[in-house]
Structure 1
Amino acid sequence: MTLHTLWLFIGAVFLVSATPGPNMLHVMASSVELGVKRTFAVMAGCLLGLLTLLAASAVGLSALLHALPGMFTVLRVLGAGYLLYIAVKTWRAPVAADEDGAAPVIRPEISPLRLLRRGYTISISNPKAIVFAAAFLPQFVDPARPQLPQFALLVAVFTVIEGFWYTMYALGGRALARHLVRARVKRIFNRVTGGLFAGFGLSLLAFRAA
């Protein structure tokens, strides 16, 4: 892999990762509810899920899904079902603001492990990422050179850039939280967020691997 190719990959991933998706939306919504510091556990879960999908693609799971379309359909339906579950849960989330108009109350009962698990589940619920990785990453790999180090470098770069955008969305969510102290506004935010999760879930249901 040449330096020019690596820079092309960095630019492409920077734009791809910036695009809002279930992970970014979940990070932003978590930051609104919990604050940036506690959202790091969510971000770690999302990154771990991303690494799982990239690793699955690297070991040939994408080819298996193409060979067994029924398996992809099962994963797609399960992933869509989970996103729709999150959509309903977010839409119906209880709303309360502090009496003095401060930021929304943080719920300390949610453990970091549970937040990490939630982020991980959101991340791996999208089997489209396996197909995308299988089509995207090999374009930047030089077949004349050892492929494993190249894939490792690409995955590392992808993870760093994805983590950067998670942080940006978390900071944006916390800034947005200042405007959500009124119950009516927070309820609207929850329903918009739930609607977007539903849209992601329905999009996944409609997706067909080529």
Structure 2
Amino acid sequence: MALNTWLFFVVTVFLVSATPGPNMLLAMSHGIRFGLRGALPTMAGLLLALGLIMAGSAAGLGALLAASERLFSIVKYAGAAYLVWLGYQAWRAPVSEQAHSPEADAATSKWQRFRTGFLVAMSNPKAFIFFTALFPQFMHADAPQLPQLLTLAGTFYVIESAWQAAYAFGGAKLKRWLTSPRRQRMMNRFAGGSFMAAGVALSTVSHG
């Protein structure tokens, strides 16, 4: 892969990953609730799902979703419903005199955080099609495909991980501001409303 092609890919992914979406919103909200270290299981779930999505796209699942309107709709509406449900949970989350406490970690296990991250990242069928469409733009047909795929996937992983860590770190810093129940409630409403809005927006995504 030519250096200028790879650098263009880096810039593209840097901007795409920086855009706030369900994955980054979840990293930030779990950073607020559990701190940066407590959000690591969430990030692990998000990144595992993204790895599976990239592998599935390379194996042709993205093309299958693009070709099958019914399958696309099933995945789309299931993902939208899950995001709305997460939003409802965040909206109704209890508040306390402290923005963060050890009891919060005990109430939500590492496995639960990992599972939530995994399901959120897997909830968007457009992600499969996105990778199916993105990677070939930076690959040369006359060169070995596997090394190029590994280079692109590895680069995406590093950039995506960095942005997730940045969002989680920002959330961890925000918890110092969330020292009153009123501010916590405002943040719960913001996070819940954002997740529900993302779910509604996902449900309107067209197959084409």
Shared fold (TM-score, shorter chain, > 0.5): yes
The equivalent position to 1:133 in structure 2, one of 131, 134, 153, is 131
Is 1:105 matched with 2:98? no
User: Residues 20-51 of structure 1: CA distance to partner in whole angstroms, max 9, x if unpaired?
Assistant: 01010001000100111111111111000111
Give how far 1:194 is off.
0.7
CA contact (8 A) 1:97 1:105 kept: no
> Would you say how many aligned residue pairs link Structure 1 and Structure 2?
206
Identity of matched residues, %: 41
Give how far 1:111 is off.
2.2
Mapping of 1:140-179 within 5 angstroms? 140-179=138-177
Mapping of 1:179-198 within 5 angstroms? 179-198=177-196
Q: Aligned equivalents of 1:95 and 1:108: distance in 2?
A: 15
The list of structure 1 runs, each at least 4 consecutive aligned residues, that deviate by more than 6 angstroms after superposition, is: none
CA contact (8 A) 1:131 1:209 kept: no
Mapping of 1:8-23 within 5 angstroms? 8-23=8-23
CA contact (8 A) 1:80 1:201 kept: yes
Q: Aligned equivalents of 1:20 and 1:67: distance in 2?
A: 28
Where does the alignment leave 5 or more consecutive residues of structure 2 unmatched? none
Give how far 1:105 is off.
2.0
Normalised by the length of structure 2, the TM-score is 0.96
Give how far 1:128 is off.
1.1
Q: Aligned equivalents of 2:119 and 2:38: distance in 1?
A: 17
Q: Aligned equivalents of 1:18 and 1:67: distance in 2?
A: 29
User: Residues 70-111 of structure 1: CA distance to partner in whole angstroms, max 9, x if unpaired?
Assistant: 00000000000000000100000011123xxxx422313222
Normalised by the length of structure 1, the TM-score is 0.95
Q: Which amino acid aligns with 1:194?
A: G
Aligned-pair Cα RMSD in Å = 1.0
Where does the alignment leave 5 or more consecutive residues of structure 1 unmatched? none
